[in-house]
Homo-oligomer: A and B are copies of this chain.
Amino acid sequence: MTEDATLDPHAAQVLALIRMAQRPAYETVTAPDGSLPLLTPMSEVAGRMAVQVGAQYLQQATGGRGVLLGGVAGVAPAKVVVIGAGVAGSNAVQMAHGLRADVTAIDRSIPRLRELDAQFHGTVRTLFSTSDAIESAVAEADLVIGAVLLPGAAAPKLVSSAMIQRMRPGSVVVDVAIDQGGCFETSRPTTHAAPTYTVDGVIHYCVTNMPGAVPRTSTFALNNATLPYARALADKGWERASTENRGLAAGLNVVRGAIVHPAVAEALGLASAA
């Protein structure tokens, strides 16, 4: 993020503090309802961006199949499959639906799928996540967006190399979960400078820090989300702030050299110090 300058000075100073020393992880600060208020805005941005990025790489000039997401009257739209209907996934669904694609959302939480069904009045296909469902949906897709994010842990590899192989040449996959290791077996991190590579004819977009492409929007979003925490940290210091706010404490990964977050420890193959 290059636009800290747009943060107000108070917040900027605190963000610097946050990044320093104790490395509390944005992505594990927890709200009372279990959600992740500092990760959420970045997931929203990444989920929304995933669709426009996918649309872009489906163009022929970049090696894509040459299809327009929404088709036009008389020509069927492209098929977009979104795996994971959490924050990132449901934002991707919104945008793909907005561009008039044929959208399928897959998740293992039926209540989450019910919310999508209600929100879109049944105009988004919702599928319970089984390997069969994923396999057949991916095989027919023009664009697959992987958006399975588990807080602080590695993303599960829900789409195998074999599934990628069965996709049509020029199809596109966007891995929003790449920061947690990715949810395609064929994913490996890329950068905004060299954002894609091709495996078996399928274009892979696996840029880490996707929100960095739209820093103006991302910074405002992050600023909004961190302000209350930043104020608490600045006013009280990290120790007292973390003591008084268990959600903020959950954001501490490393305290005086020891890994204290259980999922991080587990992901690194260590027993948790917690």
**Chain A residues close to B by CB (< 8 Å):** 3, 31, 35, 37, 40-41, 44-45, 48-49, 52-53, 55-56, 58-61, 65-77, 91, 94-95, 97-100, 102, 110-111, 113-114, 116-119, 121-123, 125-128, 130, 192-193, 195, 212-218, 220-221, 224-225, 227
Q: Give chain B residues whose Cβ lies under 8 Å from the Cβ of A111.
A: 31, 35
Q: Give chain B residues whose Cβ lies under 8 Å from the Cβ of A45.
A: 68, 72
Q: Give chain B residues whose Cβ lies under 8 Å from the Cβ of A35.
A: 111
Given A99-B98, A224-B110, are A3 and B66 neighbors across the interface (CB < 8 Å)? yes
Whether A66 pairs with B217 at a CB distance below 8 angstroms is yes
- Distance of A51 from chain B, by nearest CB (Å): 8
How distant is the Cα of A44 from the Cα of B114 in the complex, in angstroms? Answer: 10
- Distance of A8 from chain B, by nearest CB (Å): 8
Q: Give chain B residues whose Cβ lies under 8 Å from the Cβ of A213.
A: 59-61, 66
Whether A217 pairs with B123 at a CB distance below 8 angstroms is no
Whether A66 pairs with B216 at a CB distance below 8 angstroms is yes
Extra contacts, 17 of them, besides A44-B72, A73-B114 (Cβ < 8 A), are: A44-B114, A49-B68, A52-B56, A52-B69, A60-B213, A61-B193, A66-B216, A68-B214, A73-B126, A74-B127, A77-B125, A95-B99, A98-B122, A100-B117, A100-B123, A118-B119, A128-B220
Whether A122 pairs with B61 at a CB distance below 8 angstroms is no
Whether A52 pairs with B99 at a CB distance below 8 angstroms is yes
Whether B126 pairs with A123 at a CB distance below 8 angstroms is no
How distant is the Cα of A45 from the Cα of B111 in the complex, in angstroms? Answer: 15
Q: Give chain B residues whose Cβ lies under 8 Å from the Cβ of A193.
A: 61
Q: Give chain B residues whose Cβ lies under 8 Å from the Cβ of A225.
A: 110
Q: Which chain B residue has the least Cβ–Cβ distance from A87?
A: B114
4 closest pairs, A vs B, by CB? A98-B98, A100-B122, A74-B128, A128-B224
Q: A73 is contacted by which of B70, B116, B216 (Cβ under 8 Å)?
A: B116
Can you list 21 A-B contacts (CB < 8 A)?
A: A35-B111, A45-B68, A45-B72, A52-B69, A60-B212, A61-B192, A61-B195, A66-B214, A66-B215, A66-B217, A68-B218, A71-B217, A72-B221, A74-B113, A75-B217, A94-B121, A95-B99, A98-B122, A99-B99, A118-B119, A128-B220
